[in-house]
Structure 1
Amino acid sequence: MLVILNPQSNAGTALQRWRPVEHALRERDTDLTVEMPSDAEQAAKVVRASFESEAPDVIVAAGGDGMVNLVLNAIMDPETDRPRRGAERSALGAVGLGSSNDFHKPGRTRIADIPVRLGPAELVDVGKATMLLPDGTRTVRYFLLNASMGLVAAGNHSFNHARGLIGWLKSRNVEAAIIATALSNIATHKPLAVQVRGSDWVHTAPITNVGVLKSVHFAGGMYYDTPVTRADGRFDINIWEAAGRARILGLIAGLYRGKFVGSALATCHRDTSVELRPAAPAPLELDGEITIVESARLEVLPQVLKVCAL
């Protein structure tokens, strides 16, 4: 087992929370290797180097959802849309040391009260995002949970770069920090002009948000009531129609109870691919990580990656 650890996750508390988990894992796996790369580029290099000899049975992303996404993208090969050569025998596992840990939900397994995914492997879908950047270049990123554009992406960007009161809250009460971030972004939010195009449908009216899901869980305690699963070969595309602040707050309150489909603001589609074309460059969120894009095509790669079960 190879662990890629981000000690800076969750406002720098990850290393302290990792110690009892490491102790428990070393009791069951004497071949456990733990790496703490200095940055994202070095972390990707460590993951890829592990495939050059005898690849580990499990590569564990220890940190938040961003760390899971980093390890995922180090595993995947853009030339084949499959795991890199040598990575086929490795499963992706995780130890949830982050602030939201949506990858682990609705998680049942814990070590020292930390959510973990280290069980038997199952094949799951991977989302592929082909993005056109403002400088004219194209790039590919993969995701396991969801993508968004609009209010949620703006909120993730603010949360990731939190300072002041929200930064203080983030280190002490994650859900309170998420709510404070949402309120701050709602106060300045304007409907986003974006064309959302599926295989046989198109949505052109301004929106509050669009979520492209492989998991219903997002942004801490919110979750949808649409049917997507990790291995069903489809996205749920959930559009929040443009609305005033009070109605958006009502929608968000419903999402904390897992209520979305019945809202007058909800438009739902299921599809294998979707294109997002904003009127001007806009933030695209993939598993909590933000990229500014001119446009993006998102597609499902069915059951291409081994992931440790809950």
Structure 2
Amino acid sequence: MAGEHDRVVCIVNPASGVRRRRTIARRLAAELPEAQCWFTRHPGHGVALGRQAVEDGYATVVAVGGDGTLSEVANGILTAGGEKVRLAYVPAGTCNDFARGQRPVSNLGGLLDRTQDRETDVGTVTFTRPDGTRDHRYFLVSCTVGLISVIGQRFTEKTPVNRVLKRLSLQLAETASSVRTLTGWRPVAVRLELDGEPSDQVITNLAVLKVPYFAGGLTFGHAQPPQAGRLDAVRVAGVGRLGVVGLMWQVFRGAAAGHPAIHRQEVRRVRIDADSPLPVEVDGELVGFTPAEFSVHPSCLKTVV
């Protein structure tokens, strides 16, 4: 367990998810009474708080929220040079794909147990901002370019309709966002480079994954993470609108394994560009546009769920 001099801070997104907020608050007070609690106030605030936690000397930083909250806190830790800081995660959001397939601790005090630490690869993406400048972000879950990034934008909109649909079913909300997006979607021509091998492709979507799940537990038919030091590059070929609808239905049903439009490859580096810039989504947040390049950060994070 953590020593008496270890300092713990919880970075909580009070707007994350649609359920369990009061339950999480009660559990934090009862099971991690020694922890400080900081609350995010706006998108991106988790980055600043993660950076502040490193600068203030906290040994364990607990991200409480969804994958977006976790990603922000991780970015703050890494930009502050805090690779030795422990990053714990309490999955309390709408989508908690980083923790999916793991066994969360039964008591949040277990997050202080250093024997539960694991070394976690961190992806890094370099992208283009709307003003044309280049920037980078770290990611722990997934990045998308193409159809799913647009659907993701619709899915994360905090509208009354979205809130109601998510309370009923995540899959129902995802389906509604997908239908709205598909009405105007066309496959796009891109220049793709996988581990230095260039090619011209017509794609519907490119996903670059550190975990096999996205959008609340969906997969492309493969439920294993990539090897350490690798990324999963999953390309969906440029199928027509009806083909996309059929493929998405299979993805929602968990029956996408072996679909001929899905092409998966474990790689160290991915680069994508297009004549018309495409949006780039990183851990559920639209951060910029192509051209974009994805790789694995040389340092790992110590994580516990």
TM-score interval, normalised by the smaller of the two chains: 0.7 to 0.9
Q: Deviations over 1:220-276 (max 9, x none)?
A: 231134475366111111111111233222222332354445111112222100111
Question: Partner of 1:68 in structure 2?
Answer: 70
Change (3 A) 1:161 1:53: closer
- 1:270 and 2:270 aligned: no
1:39-118 matched pairs, under 5 angstroms: 39-56=42-59, 58-77=60-79, 84-85=80-81, 87-109=82-104, 111=106
Taking the aligned partners of 1:222 and 1:159, their CA distance within structure 2 comes to 14
Q: CA deviation at 1:55?
A: 2.1
Question: Partner of 2:234 in structure 1?
Answer: 238
Q: Is the 8 A contact 1:175 1:221 kept in 2?
A: no
Partner SS state of residue 104, structure 1: coil
Partner SS state of residue 74, structure 1: helix
Change (3 A) 1:15 1:227: closer
1:1-310 matched pairs, under 5 angstroms: 1-11=8-18, 13=19, 15-26=21-32, 30-56=33-59, 58-77=60-79, 84-85=80-81, 87-109=82-104, 111=106, 120-163=116-159, 165-226=161-222, 229=225, 232-302=228-298, 304-308=300-304, 310=305
Question: What runs of 5+ residues in structure 2 fail to find an aligned partner?
Answer: 1-7
Question: Which stretch of structure 1 is more off in the superposition, 61-70 or 223-232?
Answer: 223-232
Amino acid at match of 1:103: F
Q: Is the 8 A contact 1:209 1:239 kept in 2?
A: yes
Q: Is the 8 A contact 1:48 1:74 kept in 2?
A: yes
Question: Which stretch of structure 1 is more off in the superposition, 136-145 or 202-211?
Answer: 202-211
Partner SS state of residue 259, structure 2: coil
Taking the aligned partners of 2:261 and 2:160, their CA distance within structure 1 comes to 33
Question: What runs of 5+ residues in structure 1 fail to find an aligned partner?
Answer: 78-83
Number of residue equivalences: 295
Q: Is the 8 A contact 1:3 1:62 kept in 2?
A: yes
Amino acid at match of 1:207: I
Q: CA deviation at 1:203?
A: 3.7
Taking the aligned partners of 1:148 and 1:252, their CA distance within structure 2 comes to 15
Change (3 A) 1:261 1:238: farther
Question: Which stretch of structure 1 is more off in the superposition, 203-212 or 219-228?
Answer: 219-228
Q: Is the 8 A contact 1:261 1:268 kept in 2?
A: no
- Residue identity (%): 27
Pairwise CA RMSD:
2.5
Q: CA deviation at 1:290?
A: 0.6
Taking the aligned partners of 1:117 and 1:297, their CA distance within structure 2 comes to 33
Taking the aligned partners of 2:261 and 2:58, their CA distance within structure 1 comes to 47
Q: Is the 8 A contact 2:271 2:294 kept in 1?
A: yes
Q: Deviations over 1:50-82 (max 9, x none)?
A: 2234322x21111111101100110113xxxxx
Q: Is the 8 A contact 2:126 2:293 kept in 1?
A: yes
Amino acid at match of 1:68: L
Q: Is the 8 A contact 1:281 1:292 kept in 2?
A: no
Amino acid at match of 2:244: I
Amino acid at match of 1:6: N
Partner SS state of residue 170, structure 1: helix
Q: Is the 8 A contact 2:166 2:172 kept in 1?
A: yes
Q: CA deviation at 1:190?
A: 1.2
Q: CA deviation at 1:9?
A: 1.0
Amino acid at match of 1:10: G
Amino acid at match of 2:154: S
